[in-house]
Amino acid sequence: MLVLLTYLLIGAISVGVYWAVKEEVQPYVLIVASLVFFSLHDLISLLILSIASLITFYLLRLGSKRSFYFSLCFIILSFLFVIFKVDATIEEGSFNASLPLGMSFYLFRLLHYAIESYKGHLRKTELKTFITYMFYLPVLIIGPLIRLGDWSKEIKRRRWNPELFSNGMERIMFGFIKITFLGNFLVNAKLSTFIRSFEDEQSWIVNYLECFQYTANSYLQFAGYSDIAVGLSMLFGIRIMENFRFPFLATDINDFWKRWHISLSNWCRDYIFMPVASFSRLTWLAIIASMLVLGLWHELSLRYILWGSFHGVGIVIWNLQDKYFGRKLSSKAMSIYSVIGRIITIHFVIFSFAFVKEESVSESFRILLILVGLD
């Protein structure tokens, strides 16, 4: 909570300074705000982000042997990602234990920049634009994973807009309520008290509610921070992509991943699914590879490998049944099919979090067996 409050305080101060200075100075206000935030909370993150950003930018500016320098850059960024993820897992056994603040997000943004630069899409990026993009305060903590091309267009056409500013304030308020009141108070505190009221022999309902609690809290925390990021960005006159779009209204697991952590799903689609599908000509393999990377992005551990594989296999199975069954239904049957699909999807997601809410894989499987009535 201290990190969030500091983030909001620095954001509020920087917004005031940002609109008080000349337009050409505004990007530097954004950079300074991020430097202050990192300096107060995680100097290691600031050091890693600074060094990795400069190495990436200048390596990819070298004219000769582009493939070599891109490969070197890709290896360096992947190594940093893996080494800190492994360190966090070994030391504490939980996500973000000793992980530098925001590292998963800014290293994936650097990988995006490296790949797009190698393709020739971002070769003319100026250093000021690149640094402002990498040190953009609203997305530092928990995303979304914005793309440099889209963000550059927005920052160039930014203007003071009272309506956008008002909408930004509302989004920040909604996000803060999601995190604090709905997530921390209702789901974590009150629901925990309700779960403890059940007797020991009522193991199914206890485990079901605990999985529901973990799922709901994960959504409220992620979506709340995303709301704040989107809202704070609006205060700077810059629109960034939405990261969550009512995921629990999804009619199927494929639709769910178009609504949940959209920026990460799109990143995996563009940089994992498309290359694997093009190379192997196997859609199912590309889907599972994408979901494995998505899982490992959260944590390098067996439980997240299982979680990602579970979702990957679920998407493959859904695609098969939709191809041979779902698309042949009448309009009336399709409405019933959609309702059933929503019920199945939300429970598929809830059950999947049994893999990651426990440290022990064996305990996760025990919970799953209870949930499906086999324990």
CA-based nearest residue to 311, from 357, 356, 253: 253
Domain check: are 253 and 348 in the same one? Answer: yes
Judge if the upstream peptide bond of residue 162 is cis by omega within 30 degrees of 0. no
Q: Of 233-247, 315-329, 356-370, which has the strongest mean pLDDT?
A: 233-247
What average pLDDT does range 83-98 have in this prediction? 56
What's the pLDDT at 250?
96
Domain check: are 169 and 127 in the same one? Answer: no
Asked if residue 18 lies in contact with residue 29, where contact means CB atoms within 8 angstroms, the answer is yes
- C-alpha angle with apex 127: 121 to 132, nearest 5 degrees? 95
Rounded mean pLDDT of the chain?
90
Q: What is the rounded distance in angstroms from the CA atom of residue 115 to the CA atom of residue 257?
A: 23
Asked if residue 241 lies in contact with residue 148, where contact means CB atoms within 8 angstroms, the answer is no
Is 360 inside a domain boundary?
yes
What's the pLDDT at 92?
47
What average pLDDT does range 270-284 have in this prediction? 95
Residue with tokens 């003071």, as numbered in its chain: 160
Q: What is the rounded distance in angstroms from the CA atom of residue 225 to the CA atom of residue 138?
A: 9
Is 77 inside a domain boundary?
yes
Q: What is the rounded distance in angstroms from the CA atom of residue 131 to the CA atom of residue 352?
A: 38
Domain check: are 44 and 150 in the same one? Answer: yes
Range scoring the smallest mean pLDDT among 150-159, 180-189, 221-230: 150-159
CA-based nearest residue to 350, from 226, 209, 198: 209
Question: What is the number of residues in the chain?
Answer: 375
- The model's confidence at residue 141, banded by pLDDT at 50, 70 and 90, is confident
Is 241 inside a domain boundary?
no
Q: Is the pLDDT of residue 5 over 50?
A: yes
Domain check: are 98 and 60 in the same one? Answer: yes
- The model's confidence at residue 87, banded by pLDDT at 50, 70 and 90, is low
What's the pLDDT at 3?
86
What's the pLDDT at 89?
56
- C-alpha angle with apex 45: 216 to 28, nearest 5 degrees? 100
Neighbours of 312 (CB within 10 A): 23
What average pLDDT does range 32-61 have in this prediction? 90
- The model's confidence at residue 254, banded by pLDDT at 50, 70 and 90, is very high
What's the pLDDT at 172?
97
Residue with tokens 């529901």, as numbered in its chain: 212
Q: Is the pLDDT of residue 201 over 80?
A: no
Asked if residue 94 lies in contact with residue 359, where contact means CB atoms within 8 angstroms, the answer is yes
Q: How far is CA 23 from the centre of its chain?
A: 31
Is 87 inside a domain boundary?
yes
Domain check: are 169 and 273 in the same one? Answer: no
Domain check: are 253 and 347 in the same one? Answer: yes
Last residue of one domain, picked from the residues 114, 134, 156: 156
Q: 164-179: per-residue pLDDT in tens? A: 999 999 999 999 999 9
Is 76 inside a domain boundary?
yes
Asked if residue 126 lies in contact with residue 113, where contact means CB atoms within 8 angstroms, the answer is no
Q: Is the pLDDT of residue 128 over 60?
A: yes
Choice between 41 and 56, residue whose per-residue pLDDT is larger: 56
Q: Is the pLDDT of residue 208 over 90?
A: yes
Asked if residue 73 lies in contact with residue 53, where contact means CB atoms within 8 angstroms, the answer is no
Is 131 inside a domain boundary?
yes
Asked if residue 284 lies in contact with residue 70, where contact means CB atoms within 8 angstroms, the answer is no
Q: What is the rounded distance in angstroms from the CA atom of residue 255 to the CA atom of residue 104?
A: 24
Q: What is the rounded distance in angstroms from the CA atom of residue 39 to the CA atom of residue 159?
A: 29
Structural domain including 139 reads 2-156
- C-alpha angle with apex 222: 108 to 38, nearest 5 degrees? 60
Domain check: are 145 and 174 in the same one? Answer: no
The fraction of the chain above a pLDDT of 70, given in percent, is 96
- The SS3 call for residue 55 is helix
What average pLDDT does range 340-365 have in this prediction? 93
What's the pLDDT at 97?
43
Domain check: are 73 and 136 in the same one? Answer: yes
Last residue of one domain, picked from the residues 114, 138, 156: 156
Domain check: are 276 and 178 in the same one? Answer: no
Q: In Å, how far are 54, 107, 118, 126, 148 from 121, measured between CA atoms?
A: 19, 19, 8, 13, 10
Last residue of one domain, picked from the residues 235, 266, 298: 235
Q: Which two tokens stand for residue 105?
A: 């997000």
Residue 311: enclosing H or E segment and its boundaries? helix 302-324
Domain check: are 86 and 104 in the same one? Answer: yes
Give burial (CB, 10 Å; 0-12/13-18/19+) of 331: exposed
Q: Is the pLDDT of residue 373 over 50?
A: yes
Q: Which two tokens stand for residue 30?
A: 């954004």
Neighbours of 12 (CB within 10 A): 12
Q: 129-140: per-residue pLDDT in tens? A: 999 999 999 998
What's the pLDDT at 98?
52
- The model's confidence at residue 17, banded by pLDDT at 50, 70 and 90, is very high
Domain check: are 68 and 104 in the same one? Answer: yes
Domain check: are 210 and 299 in the same one? Answer: no
Is 242 inside a domain boundary?
no
Q: What is the domain count for the chain? A: 3
What's the pLDDT at 109?
95
Is 139 inside a domain boundary?
yes
Residues 6+ apart with CB under 8 A from 261: 143, 144, 222, 243, 244
